[in-house]
Structure 1
Amino acid sequence: MTNPTAGRGRGVRVSTAVVARLRERGVDVVTIEGRTPGEALDQAKRAVRTGTDCLVAVGGDGLVNLALQAVATTTTPLAVAPAGTGNDFARLVGVPLDDPVAAADIVIDDRRRSLDLGRVGNRWFATVLSSGFDSLVTERANGMKWPSGPSKYNIAMLLELSRFRTIRYSVELDGHSSDIDATLVTVGNGPSYGGGMAICPGAVADDGLFDVTIVRASSRSRLVRLSPTLYKGTHVDLPDVETHRAARVRLSAPGMVAYADGERFTPLPVQIDSIPGAVTALVGTTAWSDRADRPR
């Protein structure tokens, strides 16, 4: 299942290499490349219904999210050959980001792990759901016709910083409610989003719980100072950040939108449920489940 536009055309190159490697090793491969996401999802669901041995998503986190909608709660395993910009699901399951042949070999090796998923209504996600400053930046960037590429997001971030404000959230964690002023609320099934930012560094993808990170930074300067700590996950030690664990999260804030797996999910309010073992993933040797430093 390929997104030909992933990584500015990298998806096609990665798909070609993956298919060639699988066929070289004797695997029967059927390719899925719909003209629209809906058409691709219909083809993927049809393949799952008719008994495919595995669904391989060749693309970024957005395509992985689309593939999840076909395989969640089935016995069909999901594999990934990363070709996008974020590739946080690939990080989670230990797939090399720049080696399509190695990604194909992980499919052949057939190392299976059960993975929890987050569910919002009837839609699934695997990594992180977020709402706040980051979703405001994405919403603004998506509405801009110029410029294109990464600079669009940099400009959108500067514009949102110029009108920085905290957001009044109602947060409910496993039935316990509170009203808070926050900059960002994230719900992590996995630890990272946005291309390796460890926003929920303690998240474990098979423990039946989300890690919830709440950033309360109350000024532009405090938010900017916090930003460099996100990739290492050390922000959770700062006084502006608090963390929680819960199996069910409800979020509400006026005018806010939730993004998950890099995709626009839904306006708030939203209920997010952790569903244990909702999908089987084919993993590499550095998957979350095999890391010596995995949180306990």
Structure 2
Amino acid sequence: MPPHFALLVNPAARGGRTLPLLEPVARRLRAGGAELTVVIGDDAADALERACAVVAERPDALVAFGGDGLVHLAVQAVAGTDVPLGIIPMGTGNDIASALGVPRGDPLAAARTVLRMRSRLVDAALVRAGDSEELFAGVVACGFDSRVNERANRLTWPPGMAKYLVALVEELRRFRPIPFRVTLDGGEVIEREAMLVAVANTRSYGAGMRVCPDASPDDGLLDVMMLDVVSKAEFLRVFPSVYRGTHAAHPAVSIRRARSVRLEAGDAVAYADGERVGPVPVTCEIRPGALRVIA
């Protein structure tokens, strides 16, 4: 029997500029022998409801046609099931796809990867904030980076990654260090002022920032990176090195590993896979092998 793929589409990815590529990708999948059901929600909640409904019908894969935000949504639908997640990376960052070895910048190559149906088990992680909880596949950000995200989400211009650069500059001008309390595995407690804390299942976020360069999505652990207080001049000097992962050698950077992490801080919010989770405190817990992915 031909494989049946549910193709979950974010029509707003890159401001809608990816939609012209949807039909060529669909043609490539059909030419490879697949049957397709295209799933498009009116909004994120509707898309998740539709994705969960189609996963309950047990397709051969749920394929996310979009960026990390859509992958994050798809993870909620497939985690803990035997339906694998395929990715056609069409977003700005595509960090989760990169971590899994999915071709970026070539949607037809990504479609060929989906057609090969070679899947593997990887970890997901649960993040709790107040009464809500959700899964993430990539990175939870809290501190300077999440405040940049908050600021960028309020901007209507410029488009794409440029608004994050504008938000970064504006936030850096106003930012003050945040007092954090970080609890690892319910035991060790770290209390100090810091610029940010990142809890990572995969190595990068923010379109290639390798915040935890050695994080692995299948080791059953979360990497926890803390950036201690540095001057704004030093922050700007070191910032480019995060794209190479060499920031990890800076004396203000520490990286630990744990199965669970609780973050407490004053006046801070958390983002998971670029999606807003909510104000801290938050707790992150690894879920080994909870996700089957095509990679």
TM range (shorter): over 0.9
Cα deviation for residue 191 of structure 1 reads 0.3
d(CA) in 2 for partners of 1:155 and 1:106? 36
Secondary structure at the counterpart of residue 230 of structure 1: helix
Secondary structure at the counterpart of residue 22 of structure 1: helix
Residue range with higher mean Cα deviation, 10-19 or 29-38: 10-19
d(CA) in 2 for partners of 1:227 and 1:210? 22
In the alignment, is residue 87 of structure 1 matched against residue 66 of structure 2?
Answer: no
- Choose the corresponding residue for 2:28, options 2, 21, 29: 21
Aligned to 2:134: 123
Aligned ranges 1:256-275 → 2 under 5 Å: 256-275=268-287
In the alignment, is residue 251 of structure 1 matched against residue 251 of structure 2?
Answer: no
Q: 1:97 to 1:222 in 2, by over 3 A?
A: same
**Percentage of matched positions with identical amino acids:** 46
Aligned to 1:46: 53
Q: 1:151 to 1:18 in 2, by over 3 A?
A: closer
Residue range with higher mean Cα deviation, 127-136 or 158-167: 158-167
Contact 1:217 1:223 in 2 (8 A): no
Q: Which residue type is aligned with residue 150 of structure 2?
A: E
Aligned to 1:229: 241
Q: Which residue type is aligned with residue 184 of structure 1?
A: L
d(CA) in 2 for partners of 1:49 and 1:30? 13
Aligned to 1:33: 40
Contact 1:10 1:84 in 2 (8 A): no
Runs of 4+ in 1 over 4 A off after TM superposition: 145-149
Give deviations 1:76-115, integer Å, cap 9, x for gaps. Answer: 0000001100101110111111212211111111111101
Secondary structure at the counterpart of residue 131 of structure 1: strand
- Choose the corresponding residue for 1:111, options 111, 118, 123: 118
- Choose the corresponding residue for 1:181, options 193, 206, 214: 193
**RMSD of aligned C-alpha atoms?**
1.3
Secondary structure at the counterpart of residue 43 of structure 1: helix
Give deviations 1:214-252, integer Å, cap 9, x for gaps. Answer: 111321112111101100000111101011000000001
In the comparison of the two structures, how many residue pairs are matched?
Answer: 283
Cα deviation for residue 38 of structure 1 reads 1.4
Q: Which residue type is aligned with residue 87 of structure 1?
A: N
Aligned to 1:276: 288
Which 5+ residue runs of structure 1 have no aligned equivalent?
A: 284-296
Cα deviation for residue 123 of structure 1 reads 0.5
Give deviations 1:16-49, integer Å, cap 9, x for gaps. Answer: 2221111111111000011111111111111111
Aligned ranges 1:132-143 → 2 under 5 Å: 132-143=143-154
d(CA) in 2 for partners of 1:150 and 1:196? 12
Question: Which structure is higher in strand share?
Answer: 2
d(CA) in 2 for partners of 1:141 and 1:89? 21
Contact 1:117 1:274 in 2 (8 A): yes
TM-score by length of 2: 0.93
d(CA) in 2 for partners of 1:241 and 1:64? 29
Cα deviation for residue 147 of structure 1 reads 4.6
Q: 1:91 to 1:148 in 2, by over 3 A?
A: closer
Contact 1:164 1:219 in 2 (8 A): no
Cα deviation for residue 146 of structure 1 reads 4.7
Cα deviation for residue 149 of structure 1 reads 4.3
TM-score by length of 1: 0.92
Q: 1:84 to 1:149 in 2, by over 3 A?
A: closer
